[in-house]
A and B are shown apart, each in its own frame.
Chain A
Amino acid sequence: AQSVAQPEDQVNVAEGNPLTVKCTYSVSGNPYLFWYVQYPNRGLQFLLKYITGDNLVKGSYGFEAEFNKSQTSFHLKKPSALVSDSALYFCAVRDMSTDSWGKLQFGAGTQVVVTP
């Protein structure tokens, strides 16, 4: 079975400072990893994904994430946070070896608060 952990309920950062949102995962096979962002009363917006290849993945709005197989982590990062980055962030994983329908397991979510 697959699982995702986002250890921080909330991350606070000042505008202009680096932002990191942590995610660790557990799958029996090869992982397919995603980051999504959700603004209040809205659906999920795709940020980036890792399937294979380069461990550093660049995504939308200046975000990037690094896949670390040995630490089973996929932390989301942004070098300089903006107030508009304040939102709820979800990490998700799919086990490529066991699931043919594409079911995703979501983490609990991390609320990011960027202060001016």
Chain B
Amino acid sequence: GAVVSQHPSRVICKSGTSVKIECRSLDFQATTMFWYRQFPKQSLMLMATSNEGSKATYEQGVEKDKFLINHASLTLSTLTVTSAHPEDSSFYICSASGLAGTYNEQFFGPGTRLTVL
């Protein structure tokens, strides 16, 4: 199946700093990428949907100025958590869909654990 990678897998930062997380589709062109947030033992919460070359569409309640999403190419999307605070600590998962698979199937990355001190 199609492979999606995320980098870094784990990051620890100080409060007030910004953190960038990369999501790459390794063997297919991802026309759409999704960013999810997951708290311990909870479900995935969709944060935003991004299409290559367009502005991301954020879900209700997600601050677009805090969670900056860029989808500049068909293989890379980035999520930047700006001025991170401890409450932003979470597990962030991306997924990608596009020309691989059928019916715009989503392929998931391994996730990034963010800890804000």
Interface residues of A, Cβ cutoff 8 Å to B:
32, 36, 41-46, 49, 51, 88, 90, 96, 100-104, 106-109, 111
Residue of A nearest to B44 (CB): A106
Residue of A nearest to B10 (CB): A41
Of A36, A42, A101, A108, the residue contacting B49 (CB under 8 A) is A101
Q: Is B46 an interface residue (CB 8 A)?
A: yes
Q: Is B85 an interface residue (CB 8 A)?
A: no
Interface residues of B, Cβ cutoff 8 Å to A:
1, 6, 32, 34, 41-44, 46, 49, 51, 91, 93, 95, 97, 102-111, 113
Of B42, B49, B51, B110, the residue contacting A43 (CB under 8 A) is B110
Most buried by B among A36, A41, A96, A101: A101
Of A90, A102, A111, the residue contacting B106 (CB under 8 A) is A102
Most buried by B among A36, A43, A88, A107: A43
Q: Is the CB of B42 within 8 A of A44?
A: no
Q: Which residues of A contact B105 (CB under 8 A)?
A: 49, 102
Q: Is the CB of B111 within 8 A of A42?
A: yes
- A107-B111 contact given A44-B93, A51-B102, A102-B32, CB 8 Å threshold: no
Bound CA span A45–B49, Å: 20
Q: Is the CB of B42 within 8 A of A42?
A: no
Main SS of the interface on chain A? loop
Of A32, A43, A90, the residue contacting B43 (CB under 8 A) is A90
Q: Which residues of B contact A45 (CB under 8 A)?
A: 108
- A90-B110 contact given A44-B93, A103-B34, CB 8 Å threshold: no
- A43-B103 contact given A90-B43, A101-B32, A103-B46, CB 8 Å threshold: no
